[in-house]
Amino acid sequence: MTLIEVDDWTLQAKCRGMQDKLFPEGADQKRARAVCMGCAVRSQCLAEALDNRIEWGVWGGMTERERRQLLRQRTDINSWQSVLCGRNGT
């Protein structure tokens, strides 16, 4: 898989061009998460954040805290890309 293929999903994201709004604090996170609802590439976005241990912002509808909790609960998963998107992820 090439770098271009990996990044292709970002071109289809509902949040494209809204980067600053996706890194809110506190109550504003709920508003940012709403952008993710119904997004065609939500799974790819979440997999990207989980596989790369991205610790800031809202990704795939999950906050930093929610992603950390999921990673702690599911230490058995090596590739979130594989689990969430059905791709090999290697």
- For residue 57, the 8-state DSSP code is S
| Feature table: binding site | 15, 36, 39, 45
5-23: pLDDT as tens digits: 556 888 888 888 876 666 7
Judge contact between 75 and 41, C-beta under 8 A. Answer: no
List, as residue ranges, the binding site for [4Fe-4S] cluster: 15, 36, 39, 45
> What ranges do the domains of the chain cover?
3-79
Amino acid, single-letter form, for residue 80 = W
Q: What are the tens digits of pLDDT across the range 42-77?
A: 999 999 999 999 988 889 999 999 999 999 999 999
Say what angle helices 64-73 and 42-51 make with each other, to 10 degrees: 70
